[in-house]
Chains A and B, each alone.
Chain A
Amino acid sequence: MSDLIPAPPANGAPPPTTAPDAAADVERLGAMVNRALDRLEQTSAFAKQTARGPLLDIAGRLLAKPGGAEALYARAARIEASGVFSGTDWDHPEILQPSLATGTLAHADRATATLELLSELRLLAVARRDLFHPRISSEQAQHFLAQLLALNLNRLFGSQGEGERANATLNAAIRNLVGFIAERIGYGEILACLSTEIDRILAQRPIMVDDVKLMVTRIAACLHDPAISSGGAGLSAARLVSALFGPTAGCREDPGLEVYRERLAAMDDGALQQEARAFARAMHDTGLVSPYHPVFLRHVSAMERGDLIGQALGLSSTGAEAFSCYAPLVKSLIEAAITPDTTQAVYGLALLLERGLLFDPAIGPALWGHIGLEPCPAAARTLVAAFGDRQPPATLLLAGTISVLGQPLGIGQGNNPTCQAARALSMWALAAPDYLLHLLTRAARDDDIVMVFEGRRLSSASLSAGLAPTPPIDVDPVSVVLVSHLDRIYIEMGRQCAGRPGDPHAWVNSAMHGWWVGQDTALAVDLPGGELAATADLFVRLFHGLYHPLYNGNKPVTHPQPAGIAVTDSLGRFIGWHAITILRVGLGPQGDMRVFFFNPNYDSGQDWGQGVIVSTDGNGERFGESSLPFEQFTARLYLFHYDACEEGQSDAVPAETVDSVLAMARATWAAAKAPAA
C-alpha cells in the first residue's frame, strides 16, 4: 500500500501502554468475564461450546492476577448457571475425582485446565454453602477440595517445575486458586494430609528441605491459630514445628537467635548437656535442623567443649571416634560453614562423621583445602543467585560440601533435566568422595573440570551448554557449582559416540563415573523405535544372573552401579528414560527380594502404574533409598552395566519369571509409543 488518498497510518509498534495496577486489571478482566458470561448465558443449550472459549480464556487470565480468584468466586453461581460445564464431565460434580483433577491441572491444555479451576471454584462455593448444587453436597465438596489441596501442595509451597515455567499464566492461575481455596477450606482440614506428606518426604532425608520448611512454617501458623482445629494431625505436626522452631528447653518458645545466645552464656553445664541432647534428638528424628542448633554448636566450639559438640551432633561411638581423631578439622568446619543460614550442614556433619569418612587418608587434607577455598566469580555469582548473600559464597559452598559428603543419597536434580549429573555426584559422594572433592575444587576455583574420554581430554570450560542452558539454582550448593560442568562433559561424551551402533551409555557411563562401572552393557530396547528388543528375555535373565542373590552366588553389590529405567506415570504410560543408581539387592522385611536404588528425583515415592509403587520407607530402605520388588524393578529397567566374566546362573531363572517381567514391560512403557526422545 502506498500513496493512498486516504493515507493509511504508519505501521509502527503499538504505543507503550502503562502497566495498570492489579486492581485495575482485575476490574477490567472482571468486566470481560461478565460479558463472556452474558454471551454464554444467552447461547442455546446445544451450542454452549461456541461461547465457552472466551470465558475460559478470560477467566484463566483473571485467575492469574492477584485478587482474581476472589473476583471470580463472587461470580461462582453465575458460572455454574451459565452452562459452561454442560455437555462435559464437570456437569456431574459427583463423579469428579481429586486425583484426576490434579492430572488435568498438570497436563491438560489451558482451556481444559481452566474449566477444571472454575469447577473447583464453584465446588468451594458449594462447600461454603454459598451455592446449592443438586448433585453434590457441601460435605462432599469439602472432601474433594481437601484432597485436592493435599495433592497440590507443591502448588502452594513448592518451586516451579519445568512445565510450569512454560505456561506461566495457567500456573499462576492454579497457584492463586489453590491458595485461595486453602485459605477458605482452612489449613486445619488439610493438616492431616500435609503432615503425612512431610513425613514421607523427610523419610528420604533430602539435602534441600526449603519446601518442607515452608510447609512446616505454614503448619506452625495454623497450630497457633485458635480458629483452626488440627485434630489428631496436630501431634505429628507439632513434632515437626518444634524440631524447626523450638527443639530444646532453651528455645522452646522460639525466642530469636539473639536472645538464645544470651541464654546460652548463662547456662550451667547440666543445662548445656540437656540442650545438646535435645538438639541431637530432634535432628535425627526428623532430618530437620533448627537455626538454634548452629548457634549452640558455635558457642560450645568456642568454649572448646568437644564433648558437647559430640552430644549435639548425636554421635555414636563411630562418629565420636572420628571426631576425637579429627577434632581441630571438625571445629574448623563448624567455624567456617555452620551458621543459622546453613543449618542443614549440621546434619551433614553428623552423618559425615558417622560414615567414618575422615578415616580415608585423602579426605582430611582435602577438606582442609576446602576450608580455604574461595569460589571464582562465576561460581560465586551462581551461589548467591541460588542462596542469597547473607553468607559469603565460600561458606555456602563448604556447608553444601559437608551435606553432600554426609548425605550422598540426599542429592536431588531439582527441576532440571540433569538426572545424570545428580546421579554422578551422589555416586562419587558414596564411593569416591576424594574424587568429588577434587572435581569440586577445580570447578569452584577454576570454573573448569577436565575428564579424559577414550584418550581425549574434555574440558568443560571449552564446551557449549548441555541439557540445562544455565546452572541450576534450585539444588544444593555442590550441584549448583558442579552440575553444569558435568552436564556439558556428559553431553560431549555422548556427542563423540554419535553414529556408533548401540546406546552411547555403553561408553559414556564407565568413562564418566569410575572404574567400578561394568564394561559391558545390557540393553532391553531397540534404540530407533524404543520398543522392547527381541532379546529382552536374555536381558531379564542376565540381570537376574548378575544381581539376584539366588542366581549370582549370593554376591552383594559392591559399588553403586548406574542403570537406566523407563519411567511411567500412574497409568503406566511411558514418560521418559531416567538415570538411577542400583545400590544393593536384598530381602525386605516381608521376605521379598528387593532392589534398593537411588533416584535423583527430589521425591522418589512415585506411582509408576499397574501396581508398581516405588517405596521409600517401610520396606527396609535406608534414608534416601528407593526400593521395588526385584521383578517389578526389572520390568522397568532398560539398561545396566556388568562385566561379562561375572555372569551368574542366568539359565536357572524360571521361564515364568521372565515372561511375567516382560509382560509387565509390554503392558506399560514398552506398549506402542512415540519414539524415544
Chain B
Amino acid sequence: MAEKNPDKGYVALLGWSLGAIDAAERFDRRYVVVAPDWAEPYCAEHGIPYVPWNFERLNERSMEIAEKLRDMGVDVAIPLFEETVEWAGAINSVIQGNPRLHGQAILFRDKALMKRRAQLGGIRVGIFEEAHDRGDVIRFLKRVNQTLLKLDGDPNDPIHVKAFDKAGCMGHRVIRTADDIDTIPEEEFPVLMESHLDGWEFAVEAWIHNGKVQFLNISEYVTLGYSVFVPASPELEAWRPRVEQEVEKLIKTFDIENGFIHPEYFVTSDGTMYFGEVAFRPPGFKVFELLERAYGFNGYQGLIVCFDPKSTEEEIAAFFPKEVVDATTHAGCFGVYPRRRVVSNLEIPEETENHPYFESHELTAPMENKVTKRTAFGTHWGLVYFVGEDPGTMRDLLKHQEDLDFYV
C-alpha cells in the first residue's frame, strides 16, 4: 500500500474493478470502493475500504449515499462503468455543491441528448434520430439513402443503431436492409440511429483538470470492435492539433471542469472531423493497460488525480508524461471472436505466437462448442496483446489477426 497523503480527502470509486482498486491502493489518495453487496466478503477479507450500494435507477434514497460519502470526507466520486456515470454526477453535485454536475452526467448517459448538445455547441455530427420502433428505423434508412441520391435497387448505405445508454459496442448494429431491421429485438427499443460515415474512426482519451486537457491520447482503431493500438501512427497523430481543438470544444460544450472523457471521431475523405459520441468513464478494450504498457503511467491513478478537485497543478504535471514522445513503444490488442460455428479448442496460431510483437493473451479454452451467432457487435472472447516499435507493422499485424483462427 502506498503512503497516503493526509492533506487530501477521499475519492470514491463507483463500481467494482479490481484493476482500479489496485491502482488506488498503490496511489497516495485515500479511497473507498462503492459496490454492490456481493463485494463485501472480498473487501472484508482483503481490508479494502468499502461502502455497499446497489446501483439501480436513481431514486429517493440516492441522497443517502451522497451524504454518506460526503460525511466520510469524500471529495469526488469516480464512475468506472457506464452504469455508474449518472450516479457519480448525482453524488458529485451533492458533495461539491454543484447541481449542474448531475445534468451533465445525464447528457453523457443519453446518446441522443449528447448528440444534440454537441450540435448546439457547434460540433459537427452525422445525421441522427431516435427510433421507437422498427417503422422509425425503416423510414430513417430510406431517408438517408434518398438523401444520398440512391436509385431503387442500388445497395443501401448502411445506418447504425445503438442503445441509448450502453457502453461501447453493446447493442451496436449495422443496418443495411429491411431484413436487418427485423433482427432488432423489441426490447432494445428505443434506440439511436446514425448515418454511416465512411472514414477513419478513432477514439480519444482525455484526462481533464481545471477545464484543461492534461493528457490526450489518440487510440487508433485498426478495425472497430477488433483492434486498437496506442500511441497512434504518425499519420493519425498528424491530426492531433485538430483533435485537441475538437476536444476543447467538447469540454466547453459539456462544461467539464475535472474528469475524464472518451470521445470517438471520424475523419471523412474530405478531411472533415465528425464527432461520434463521448463517454465519461474509462474506455473498454483495456486501453488503460495499453497506455500503461506504452507510457508507464496508470490510467486509473490518472482518473483519481484529475477528478480530485484538490489536486495541484504541480501534482498533475508530474503525473502525466508527454504525449507520443514519452511513449517507449506501441502497444495494441486484438479482440478474438471465434470464426467457426463449432469450436473445441483454443489454439494460438503459430505465426501469432512466434511474432516478436506478441506479448500475451487472456484467452481461455472454450466452455461451449457451439458458437452463438453474432447479431450485434457482440462481446469478444478475450484479448491478445502486442507490443512493438513500428506502428505500421503493428497495424498490419492487428489487421492480419482477423484472418486467423484462435478457436478450432
Chain B residues contacting A8 (CB-CB under 8 Å) are 200, 235, 395
B228, chain A: closest CB distance, angstroms: 14
A46 to B48, CA, bound (A): 9
Q: Is the CB of B356 within 8 A of A17?
A: yes
Q: Does B269 contact A (CB under 8 A)?
A: yes
What band does the interface of chain B fall in when counting residues whose beta carbon is under 8 Å from A?
A: 35 or more
On chain B, the residues within 8 Å of A20 by CB distance are 356
| Residue A611 lies at the interface, judged by CB distance under 8 Å to chain B | no
Among B83-91, B133-141, B159-167, B357-365, the stretch in contact with A:
B357-365
Q: Which residues of B contact A95 (CB under 8 A)?
A: none
| A6 with B239, Cβ < 8 A, contacts A14-B355, A15-B393, A54-B385 known | yes
Q: Do B25 and A44 have beta carbons less than 8 Å apart?
A: yes
Do A58 and B360 contact each other (CB < 8 Å), given the known contacts A13-B400, A14-B400?
yes
1/0 contact string of A1-38 vs chain B (CB within 8 Å)? 11111111101111101011000000010001000100
How many Å from the CB of B194 to the closest CB on chain A?
17
Measured between beta carbons, the chain A residues less than 8 angstroms from B199 are 1, 4
**CA A1 to CA B399, docked complex, whole Å:** 13
B238 within 8 A of A: yes
Q: Chain A residues with Cβ under 8 A from B362's Cβ?
A: 53-54, 57
Q: When the two chains form their complex, are residues A12 and B396 in contact, meaning their CB atoms are under 8 A apart?
A: yes
| Distance (whole angstroms) from the CB of A147 to the closest CB of chain B | 28
A45 within 8 A of partner (CB): yes
Residues A9 and B269 in contact in the complex (CB < 8 Å), given A44-B25, A46-B22: no
Contact status A46-B46, CB under 8 Å:
yes
Interface residues of A in 477-535 (CB under 8 A from B): none
- Which of the listed residues A9, A61, A111 has the most CB atoms from chain B within 10 Å of its own CB? A9
Q: Is the beta-carbon distance between A1 and B18 smaller than 8 angstroms?
A: no
CB neighbours of A42 from chain B (8 A): 26
Judge if A169 is at the interface, Cβ distance under 8 Å: yes
Task: Give chain A residues whose Cβ lies under 8 Å from the Cβ of B46.
Answer: 45-46
List residues of chain A with CB within 8 A of the CB of B25. 44, 46-47
Contact with A along B383-408 (1 / 0, CB 8 A): 00100000011011101100000000
Chain B contacts with A in 103-149, Cβ cutoff 8 A: none
Residue B42 interfacial (CB < 8 Å): yes
Q: Are A14 and B22 in contact (CB under 8 A)?
A: no
Q: Closest approach, in angstroms, between the C-beta of A39 and any C-beta of chain B?
A: 8
Minimal Cβ-Cβ distance residue in B for A54: B360
Q: Is B19 a contact partner of A109 (Cβ separation < 8 A)? A: no
Taking the complex as formed, is A160 at the interface, i.e. its CB lies under 8 A from any CB of chain B?
Answer: no
Which residues of the other chain, B, contact A17 by a CB distance below 8 angstroms? 354-356
How far apart are B354's CB and chain A's nearest CB, in angstroms?
A: 7
Docked pose: A13 CA to B392 CA in angstroms: 11
Return B397 CB to nearest CB of chain A, in Å.
5
Q: Which of B48, B235, B395 contacts A6 (CB 8 A)?
A: B235
Distance of B78 from chain A, by nearest CB (Å):
17
Residues from chain A with Cβ under 8 Å of B364 in the complex: 109, 111
Are B396 and A57 neighbours in the complex by a CB distance under 8 Å?
no
Query: Within the assembled complex, what's the spacing in Å between the Cα atoms of A5 and B19?
Result: 38
A606 contacts B by Cβ under 8 Å: no
Q: Which residue from A5, A12, A15, A47 sits with its C-beta under 8 Å from B270?
A: A5
Do residues B200 and A1 form an inter-chain contact, with CB atoms below 8 A?
Answer: yes
**Which of A14, A57, A166 is close to B360, meaning CB atoms less than 8 Å apart?**
A57
**B6 touches A (CB below 8 Å):** no
Q: Are B267 and A4 in touch, CB under 8 angstroms?
A: yes
Look across to chain B and name the residue whose beta carbon is closest to the beta carbon of A48.
Answer: B22
B21: Cβ under 8 A from any A Cβ: yes
> Across the interface, which residues of B come within 8 angstroms of A2, CB to CB?
198, 269
B345, CB-defined interface residue at 8 Å:
yes
Whether a CB of chain A sits under 8 angstroms from the CB of B353 is: yes
Q: Is B1 located at the chain interface by the 8 A CB criterion?
A: yes
Chain A 102-145, CB within 8 Å of chain B: the 1/0 string?
00000001010000000000000000000000000000000000
Find chain B residues with CB under 8 A from A28 CB. Answer: 356
Tell me, yes or no, whether A43 is within 8 Å of chain B by CB.
Answer: yes
Given A11-B399, A12-B396: A47 touches B19 (CB 8 Å cut-off): yes
A9 to B391, CA, bound (A): 11
Which of B316-346 touch A at CB < 8 Å?
345
Residues of chain B within 8 A (CB-CB) of A7 are: 235
Query: When the two chains form the complex, which single residue of A15, A47, A109 contacts B365, counting CB atoms closer than 8 Å?
Result: A109
Q: Are B18 and A32 closer than 8 Å at their CB atoms?
A: no
Chain A, residue nearest B21 (CB): A47
- Report the Cα distance A306→B223, complex, angstroms: 80
A5-B269, A14-B397 as given contacts; A44 in contact with B200, CB under 8 Å: no
B271 contacts which chain A residues (CB < 8 A)? 5
Q: Which residues of A contact B21 (CB under 8 A)?
A: 44, 46-47
Q: Mark A154-174, 1 if CB is under 8 A from B, else 0.
A: 000000000000100100000
Interface 0/1 of A63-74, CB less than 8 Å to B: 000000000000
Closest to B234 in A: A6
Contact B359 A58 (CB under 8 A): yes
Residues from chain B with a CB closer than 8 A to the CB of A554 are none
Partner of B345, one of A4, A47, A58, A166: A166
A426 to chain B, nearest CB (A): 32
B236 interfacial contact with A, CB 8 Å: yes
Quick one: which of A6, A14, A47 has the most chain B CB within 10 A?
A14
Contacting pair B269 A3 (CB below 8 A): yes
Which of A9, A44, A58 makes the CB contact (< 8 A) with B396? A9
Q: Which residues of A contact B392 (CB under 8 A)?
A: 9
| Residues from chain A with Cβ under 8 Å of B359 in the complex | 32, 54, 58
Q: Are B200 and A50 in contact (CB under 8 A)?
A: no
Q: Is A382 an interface residue (CB 8 A)?
A: no
Q: Are A57 and B361 in contact (CB under 8 A)?
A: yes
Convert B8-38 into 0s and 1s, putting 1 for each residue whose CB lies closer than 8 angstroms to a CB of A.
0000000000110110011000000000000
Question: Which of B236, B269, B360 has the most C-beta atoms of chain A within 10 angstroms of its own C-beta?
Answer: B360
CA distance A8 to B267 in the complex (A): 12
CA A8 to CA B345, docked complex, whole Å: 34
B22 engages A47 (CB within 8 Å): yes
**How many angstroms from the CA of A49 to the CA of B362 in the assembled complex?**
12
Contact indicator per residue, chain B 361-381, by CB within 8 Å of chain A (1) or not (0):
110110000000000000000
Q: Which residues of A lie under 8 Å from residue B22 when comparing CB positions?
A: 43-44, 46-47, 50
On chain A, the residues within 8 Å of B26 by CB distance are 42, 44
> Within the complex, what minimum Cβ distance (angstroms) separates A7 from chain B?
8
Q: Which residues of B contact A1 (CB under 8 A)?
A: 198-200
Minimum C-beta distance from A109 to chain B (A): 5
Q: Which residues of A contact B355 (CB under 8 A)?
A: 14, 17
A53 to B359 alpha-carbon distance, docked (Å)? 11
Closest to A11 in B: B399
**Which residues of the partner chain B approach A58 to less than 8 Å between Cβ atoms?**
359-360
Q: Please, which residues of chain B bring their CB within 8 A of the CB of A4?
A: 199-200, 267, 269
Interchain nearest-CB distance for B400 vs A (Å): 5
* A367, chain B: closest CB distance, angstroms: 46
CA A47 to CA B298, docked complex, whole Å: 15
Q: Would you call B269 and A14 a contact (CB within 8 A)? A: no
Chain A hits for B347, CB < 8 A: 166
Can you name the residue of chain A whose Cβ is closest to the Cβ of B399? A11
Contacts of A45 in B (CB 8 A): 46
Q: How far is the CA of A19 from the CA of B350 in the complex (A)?
A: 12
| Per-residue contact bits, chain B 255-272, to A (CB 8 Å; 1 contact, 0 not) | 000000000000101110
Cα-based distance from A45 to B22 in the complex (angstroms): 9
User: In angstroms, how far is the closest chain A Cβ from the Cβ of B288?
Assistant: 12
Give me 29 A-to-B residue pairs in the complex whose CB atoms sit less than 8 angstroms apart, sorted by A's number. A1-B199, A1-B200, A2-B269, A4-B199, A4-B200, A4-B269, A5-B267, A5-B270, A6-B235, A6-B236, A8-B235, A9-B235, A12-B396, A14-B393, A14-B396, A14-B397, A19-B354, A28-B356, A32-B360, A36-B360, A43-B22, A45-B46, A46-B42, A50-B18, A54-B359, A54-B385, A57-B361, A57-B362, A111-B364
Those 3 A-B pairs whose CB atoms lie nearest each other, nearest first = A46-B46, A47-B22, A54-B360
In the complex, given contacts A4-B200, A11-B396, A32-B359, what are 13 additional A-B residue pairs having Cβ atoms less than 8 angstroms apart?
A3-B269, A11-B399, A13-B400, A14-B393, A14-B397, A17-B355, A46-B46, A47-B19, A54-B359, A54-B385, A57-B360, A111-B364, A169-B348
